[in-house]
Amino acid sequence: MRGGIDLGGTKIQAVVVDARHRIRGQARLPTPRDGGPPAVASRMAEALRAAGENAQLRPGTLSAVGVGSPGEIEPGGIVGQARNLPDWDGSFALGPTLSREVGAPVVVGNDVQVATAAEFKLGAGKPYRSILGVFWGTGVGGGLVLDGHDWTGRGAAAEIGHVCIKVDGARCTCGRKGCMEAYAGRASMEARARRLAAKGDKTRLFEIAEKRGRDRLTAGIWWRAAQHGDQMALDLLDRAVEALGAGVASACNVIDPEAVVIGGGLGVRFGEEYVRRIEHAMMPHLFTSDRPPAIHPASLGDLGGALGASLLAAQADGRGRRRAPAA
Amino acid sequence: MRGGIDLGGTKIQAVVVDARHRIRGQARLPTPRDGGPPAVASRMAEALRAAGENAQLRPGTLSAVGVGSPGEIEPGGIVGQARNLPDWDGSFALGPTLSREVGAPVVVGNDVQVATAAEFKLGAGKPYRSILGVFWGTGVGGGLVLDGHDWTGRGAAAEIGHVCIKVDGARCTCGRKGCMEAYAGRASMEARARRLAAKGDKTRLFEIAEKRGRDRLTAGIWWRAAQHGDQMALDLLDRAVEALGAGVASACNVIDPEAVVIGGGLGVRFGEEYVRRIEHAMMPHLFTSDRPPAIHPASLGDLGGALGASLLAAQADGRGRRRAPAA
């Protein structure tokens, strides 16, 4: 049995899987807002324990645990600059800390990369040898599997959210200008909706958020507003789709993958229809528009990140084994 | 001894190299304007014979020949849609045709990919495991070596000239809008210079071209005009550098290579100074601006393409050999 934990800005999702990657137990807890990285590590251990109980597992029986984390992942399970997480500006030894708490080896990887690896091995990317994972959520993250192997470059590959689609364009939350994420990321979409509403433009977005007791515009709120035909929501979604078309096509022009798998909070919520709209928006920018890559919605949904993290654990687990020499 | 041929829109460069990749002979001939693909294949054989004579080689002693070609390279040495070449709209069996003419096996690869592989193995990319080759010339081509291996995707990877840097931007020669090449490719720069001159803007670009008996603005003409302080040339070069900054940085955000090597007609001519300017222009768009990839001018110059082609030949040559089984 192995554990997998997807560490997000608002929630921590833990799974316990068997050797065949089947989920045997799971639990979800909110990411703590106070206490910084140590509190986050404790909550992660708690989520994993809950997933283990859900799987009716005796404590201490996990052979290894994988973590998908935002931020910069440094060797040894150190996580730096995870700005999505509360009070996580410096570096923190997440892997070693968590390992002590759970009593098993811990491997830490990039959240969107492990989610891409999960789609590659277990999800929509299974038929292919090379895929680009696109995670359309608060930001726009990406992951790459090339010829069956993760490609992470020097640790920051597939930062497709920061592909420049408009020189001197909109200001991104990262400070740069014209990034795809500045148009398509949920955070940027929300900021723009607030500016437009402050100017007096009409929208039901914030009314829906209030009804749901939310202080931010979640994917579900965008979805509901779009269902209601809210013009501002539809316009901002159109703008996001347009930006995703240009940015994802540009990434494909660099990589030429066999397939693109689109997930993330908004990607999962808006599903097939929007995946087709993004595909359509890619065509004017795609070098291989006469033979485009296959474009699929992610098939593992919300659990892709945690499942991908558990695949990392499988790697760690396998590292100690000797391979039989090839014939 | 192996042969390498770089097939360009205006010239055919052939080299003969020894087993240690040293150039023993070379020859350059103009690409024929008439006669279509068969005439091109004959001229390529002629260039290779001339290179062989230059190396004082007996005819028929080449073990294999590699070709770097524009267009789409299909299996079996078929080249399609090489629009830079005269009357080459359909597919042509370049490899087999040339093989009959030169009496040696011929392997055909993409021109910028083989040039990238040459820089990786023999040139500015030698210290690295992963590089992005940028060929700034008539268009803007790219090549990728990742973890020591060529990455060509489904055959169209590293088409960085068609990364979209401005949604709804300038029209590219490929028909798309906002491609990096629409701002930075020599062909696009020339088209814009002609439009500006037709409107009455002053420039010495066309005067220099006339003096040199050229009907197009070669890299050398841009260089000379820039040396003379020609404002239009300088402005268009600035615009190209700006576009290269955004587009190459975007490609780096996807790949995160250890190094970028900048060659091509304009890249080689403008050299170190402009490579630094491109590096500077990348910074506002680069995700890893705090630890950028190394940026180098190509070090093999004009011969990179032919040398890279000869490396392909070495591969072909090695294919027939049995490897000793690993211990």
**Any idea what the CATH number is for the domain that residue B230 is in?**
3.30.420.40
Å between B262 CA and nearest CA of chain A: 16
CA distance B241 to B134: 13
Query: What tokens does B65 get?
Result: 């020949």
Query: Containing H/E element for A17?
Result: strand A11-17
Pick the residue from chain A with its C-alpha nearest to B287. Answer: A162
Q: What is the mean pLDDT of residues B122-133?
A: 98
Q: What is the pLDDT of residue B60?
A: 81
> A90 — phi, psi (to 5°)?
-90, -155
End-to-end CA distance of chain A: 30
Chain B CB contacts of A176 below 8 Å: 284-285
Residues 6+ apart with CB under 8 A from A319: none
Mean pLDDT on B120-145: 97
Which pair of structure tokens corresponds to residue A118?
């999960």
Partner-chain contact A157 B250, CB within 8 Å: no
pLDDT at A14: 98
Closest listed residue to residue A152, CA positions, set B250, B151, B147, B113 = B147
* A163/chain B closest Cα distance in angstroms: 5
CB atoms closer than 10 angstroms to residue A33: 11
* Nearest-CB residue to A256 (from B157, B247, B287): B157
Number of Cβ pairs < 8 A linking chain A and chain B: 125
> What angle, 0 to 180 degrees and rounded to 10, lies between the N-to-C axes of helices A264-282 and A219-227?
60
Of the pLDDT bands very low, low, confident and very high (cuts 50, 70, 90), residue B318 is low
Which one-letter amino acid corresponds to residue B213? Answer: G
Tell me how far apart the terminal alpha carbons of chain B are, to the nearest angstrom.
Answer: 30
pLDDT reading at A325 higher than 90 = no
Residues in chain A closer than 8 A to B156 (CB atoms): 253, 256, 287-288
Q: Say if B61 is an interface residue toward chain A (CB within 8 Å).
A: no
Asked whether residue A216 falls in the same domain as residue A295, the answer is: yes
Starting at the edge strand found earlier in the chain, the sheet holding A64-69 runs: A23-30, A11-17, A2-7, A64-69, A106-110
Question: Does A61 share its domain with A86?
Answer: yes
pLDDT of A311 strictly over 50: yes
Residues B60 and B85 reside in one and the same domain: yes
Which whole number is the average pLDDT over B20-25?
95
The answer on A168 and A289 residing in a single domain is yes
Say whether residue B229 is in contact with chain A using an 8 A CB cutoff. no
Residue A119 lies in a domain: no
A100 falls within a domain:
yes
Instruction: Please tell me the total count of domains within chain A.
Output: 2
Tell me: do B277 and B161 sit in the same domain: yes
Within-domain flag for B204: yes
Tokens of A282: 């890619």
- If asked whether residues A206 and A235 sit together in one domain, one would say yes
Mean pLDDT of B279-297: 97
Cα dihedral sign, B257-B259-B262-B263: negative
By the CB < 8 Å criterion, does B204 face chain A?
no
In this structure, are A295 and A307 located in the same domain?
Answer: no
Domain shared by B94 and B202, yes or no: no
Same domain, A201 and A180: yes
Nearest to B163 among A152, A250, A257 (CB): A250
Is residue B224 predicted with pLDDT exceeding 60?
Answer: yes
**Residue A120: which of A266, A323, A219, A257 has the closest Cα?**
A257
pLDDT digits (tens, 9 = 90+) for B75-113: 899 998 887 788 888 899 999 999 999 999 999 999 999
Residue B141 contacts A where some CB pair is shorter than 8 Å: no
| Cβ proximity of A314 and A278 under 8 Å | no
Q: Using a CB-CB distance cutoff of 8 angstroms, which residues of chain A are in contact with residue B249?
A: 164
Q: Of all helices (H) and strands (E), which one includes residue A110?
A: strand A106-110
Does A178 contact B246 at a Cβ distance shorter than 8 Å?
yes
**How many residues are recorded in chain A?**
327
Q: Where are the beta strands (DSSP E) in B53-195?
A: 64-69, 72-74, 78-80, 91-92, 106-110, 131-136, 140-146, 149-150
The span from the CA of A40 to the CA of B173, in Å, is: 52
| Cα distance between residue B110 and residue B135, in whole Å | 12
**A116 located within any domain:** no
Q: Would you state the pLDDT for residue B309?
A: 97
Residues of B within 8 A of A246 (CB-CB) are 164, 167, 178
Complex prediction ipTM:
0.93
Query: What is the DSSP code (8-state) at residue A167?
Result: T
- B183: nearest CA in chain A? A167
Put simply, the answer to whether B254 touches A178 (Cβ < 8 Å) is no
Does A260 lie in the same domain as A130? yes
The answer as to whether A313 is a domain residue is: yes
Q: Answer whether A143's CB lies under 8 Å from A158's CB.
A: yes
Rounded CA-CA distance B311/B234 in Å is 37
Query: Closest residue of A to B252, CA-based?
Result: A157
Cα separation, A157 vs A264, whole angstroms:
18
Q: Flag if A178 and B243 touch (Cβ within 8 Å).
A: no
**Partner-chain residue, chosen from A146, A160, A243, that has the shortest CB–CB distance to B151:** A146
Mutation site, B130, B254, B255, B289, interface A, largest A CB count within 10 A: B254
Residue A206 structural domain: 124-299
Q: Does B320 have pLDDT greater than 70?
A: no
Cβ–Cβ below 8 Å for A165 and B162: no
A98 and A136 assigned to the same domain:
no
pLDDT tens digits along A6-38:
999 889 999 999 999 999 999 999 999 999 999
Q: A153 and B255 in contact by Cβ < 8 A?
A: yes
pLDDT tens, residue by residue, A54-88: 999 988 889 999 999 998 888 899 998 887 788 88
Burial of B20 (0-12, 13-18, 19+ CB in 10 A): exposed
Using only the alpha carbons of chain A, give its radius of gyration.
20
Please tell me the distance from the alpha carbon of residue B25 to that of residue A112, in angstroms, as a whole number: 50
Does one domain contain both A39 and A163?
no
pLDDT computed for residue A319 by the predictor: 46
Residue B163 touches chain A, beta carbons under 8 Å: yes
- Tell me: pLDDT of A326 over 60: no
Query: What is the pTM (predicted TM-score) of this model?
Result: 0.93
Residue B216 located in a structural domain: yes
The minimum CA-CA distance between A130 and chain B, rounded to whole Å, is 8
For residues A62 and A1, the answer to whether their CB atoms sit within 8 Å is: yes
Q: A141 in a domain, yes or no? A: yes
User: What is the spatial order of strands in the sheet that A259-263 belongs to?
Assistant: A149-150, A140-146, A131-136, A259-263, A294-297
Verify whether the Cβ–Cβ distance A251 to B246 is below 8 Å. Answer: no
Residue A326 lies in a domain: no
Dihedral, CA of residue A296, residue A298, residue A299 and residue A303, to nearest 10: 180
Enclosing H/E stretch for A93: none
Q: Which of chain B's residues have a Cβ under 8 Å away from the Cβ of A285? A: 162, 164, 176, 178
Q: Which two tokens stand for residue A34?
A: 């106070």
